[in-house]
Amino acid sequence: MRQEYNIDRIIQYNVSEIDSNIMVVNREYNNLTYQIKKVRERISMHQAKLYTLIQENVHTEMEQTSQNLKQQMELRQRIESLQQQYQSLIETRKNKPYKISIGQMPQSTRYNKLNTESKYLQNIIKIICYRAETAFANTMASCYSKNRDEIRALVKSVIFSKADLIPDEVNKTLTVKLYSLATKKDNLAVQKACELLNDTETIFPDTNMTLVFKTATT
């Protein structure tokens, strides 16, 4: 439906500012927490490897001890470096509030929101289009023995087909003359639908003209 009626063209993608006093979780605090978690995971991983090396050293031959101790030393140095990094991140996070107002956020990362008015309008138009299609399809269903999908496809072909508008000031009518469709059966179904629409004697908005629907074959 969005593609058929080109509804996406009405959407506006401009943004509006959110109330600057609203409190939100500080992104910097969250980023530091994530880094702390990752460093802690690396420390645990290296400690597990170190424990494995210690256990292996107990049961290996003396000739392999030198290589084992070298690996242990490298792991201990990595663990020590990671622990220093971990403590530094902890201290940095202490100086960051968990929550800040939107007004305190950097301009480049400040939360905004898309305008919602166009979304509401789009939703209303989609509902109107769908209801119009459904109502017309129900009209066709009473005089046309096709399944629901075929009837709706026929309705869409009618909506997108060309028509002549013929105003008659004397008789106060505005005739909508639909062009012929693909098959005689389709034209007959539309003709019957036109008769039902004409029975409503609908006045075209802001005029005193009655709408009259007819097909090119009538």
Are 172 and 210 within 8 A, CB to CB?
Answer: yes
Which residues are within 8 A (CB) of 202 and not within 5 positions of it... i.e. 6 or more apart? 210, 211
Are 86 and 40 within 8 A, CB to CB?
Answer: yes
Higher pLDDT among residues 58 and 147, named by residue: 58
Q: What is the pTM of this model?
A: 0.44
Which residues are within 8 A (CB) of 33 and not within 5 positions of it... i.e. 6 or more apart? 93
Residues 152, 140: Cα–Cα separation, whole Å:
9
The first and second tokens of residue 45, run together, are 């991983």
pLDDT at 186: 79
CA distances to 5, 132, 135, 158, 197 from 153, in Å: 14, 13, 14, 9, 19
The first and second tokens of residue 37, run together, are 């978690």
Q: Which amino acid is at 207?
A: T
**Residues 133-160: pLDDT tens digits?**
888 777 777 655 656 777 777 887 887 8
